[in-house]
Structure 1
Amino acid sequence: MKRTLEMKIRFTRAELDALTKKARKTNYSREGFSRAVLNGVEVKEAPSADTLLLLRELKRVGYNLDQLLKRANAIGLMDVPQMRKVLENVDTAAKTVISAYGDT
């Protein structure tokens, strides 16, 4: 959808600074942030680089555990139910991070 209509809004310096600060925390432009808020979108702060690395690592660990479980189950080496529980814990941790920041 192409935006063709324009509206001019005047701000005080403090209001514009506050809008800019809030928009930067979310990685939205000021305009995008304003539209999101106007449309009732729940705007969350963008995750830090550390959080993104943590989430990537959790996903990697979960994938590796899943592969180990498949292999162990095939040859009967490990306590598969216990390992499945560990995998569920990793998945829960990843979902917690995702729900805090939205799908990254």
Structure 2
Amino acid sequence: MKRTLEMKIRFTRGELDALTKKSRKAGLSREGYCRRILNGAVVKEAPPAELPLLIREVRRVGYNIDQILKRANSIGLLDVPQLRKALEDNRAVEKLIVDTYTTPSD
């Protein structure tokens, strides 16, 4: 959709500075930030650049725990309930990271 309509809004210096600061924190242009707010979106601060690496690492650890759990379960050598708890904790951390730093698609 091409935007062809324009509207002029006047701000005080403080209002414009606040808008600029909030839009930069969200990683958006001022216009994009305003559009999202007007459309009812909850705009969150942009995630740190290291976020994809962190999510990948948490998932890798979870995968490793899952593989150990499967092996331990098959041979009956390790404390399976403790491994199951570690896997649940890992998945909870992954969900927390994803929920904190991502927004549903607009």
Q: Which runs of 4+ in 1 moved over 4 A?
A: 50-53
CA shift digits 1:43-64 (9 cap, x unpaired): 1112223555443322221121
Within 5 Å, which residues of 2 pair with 1:1-104? Answer: 1-49=1-49, 51-102=51-102
Q: What CA distance in whole angstroms lies between the structure 2 residues aligned with 1:9 and 1:72?
A: 64
Q: What CA distance in whole angstroms lies between the structure 1 residues aligned with 2:77 and 2:6?
A: 66
Q: How many residues are paired up?
A: 104
**Aligned-pair distance for 1:37?**
0.6
**Aligned-pair distance for 1:34?**
0.5
Q: What CA distance in whole angstroms lies between the structure 1 residues aligned with 2:93 and 2:86?
A: 11
Q: What CA distance in whole angstroms lies between the structure 2 residues aligned with 1:55 and 1:64?
A: 14
Aligned-pair identity (%): 64
- Consecutive unaligned residues of structure 2, counting only runs of 5 or more, are none
Q: What CA distance in whole angstroms lies between the structure 1 residues aligned with 2:96 and 2:52?
A: 13
Which of 68-77 and 29-38 deviates more?
Answer: 68-77
- Consecutive unaligned residues of structure 1, counting only runs of 5 or more, are none
Q: What CA distance in whole angstroms lies between the structure 2 residues aligned with 1:49 and 1:85?
A: 30
Q: What CA distance in whole angstroms lies between the structure 2 residues aligned with 1:96 and 1:49?
A: 17
For 1:15, give the aligned amino acid: E
Q: What CA distance in whole angstroms lies between the structure 1 residues aligned with 2:52 and 2:59?
A: 11
Q: TM-score, normalised by structure 2?
A: 0.79
Q: TM-score, normalised by structure 1?
A: 0.81
Which of 69-78 and 15-24 deviates more?
Answer: 69-78
**Aligned-pair distance for 1:74?**
2.8
